[in-house]
Amino acid sequence: MPVFFVCAGLIGVLAAILTMNIARLRGKKKINFGDGGDPEMLAAVRAHANLIEFAPLCLLLIYFVSDFYGFRVVAGLSVVLLVARVLHAGGMLGLVPQGRFLGALGTTLVLAASSVLVVMVGLGLKQF
């Protein structure tokens, strides 16, 4: 479980960094609301929004999985999610070539895998 908490905390730090990036761009570009039609601002807003759209659900599902599956499963899902979210943000901001694709792929795999594991628990296919 410690790996889960470290990864969850680092995803929170990433959210704070992306929030500060939006604030920095708003000041620099004098855009008070929305993206103002600016491509750089749009990318920053979407990088943050995409993290907020996917990370909480993935983290919640991984947390549910933690009671029924071993350390390695939880740690693996947590680390893949963290790396995927960093890659995605880096790709959206133009810092990591192919980062957006790899990050979206990694996040989708974690979402699908953790969802299937939770469904298996719900159906009684996995017990303590």
Q: For 64-96, what is each residue's pLDDT tens digit? A: 999 999 899 999 999 999 999 999 999 999 999
- With contact defined as beta carbons under 8 Å apart, do 89 and 11 qualify? no
- With contact defined as beta carbons under 8 Å apart, do 47 and 20 qualify? no
Domains, the chain, with CATH or none? 2-122 (1.20.120.550)
Average pLDDT over residues 25-31: 92
Q: Per the confidence metrics, is the pTM higher than 0.85?
A: yes
The confidence band for 10, taking pLDDT boundaries of 50, 70 and 90, is very high
In 1-128, which ranges are E strands? none
HSE, side-chain direction, 13 A CA sphere, residue 33: 0
d(CA 92, CA 100): 6
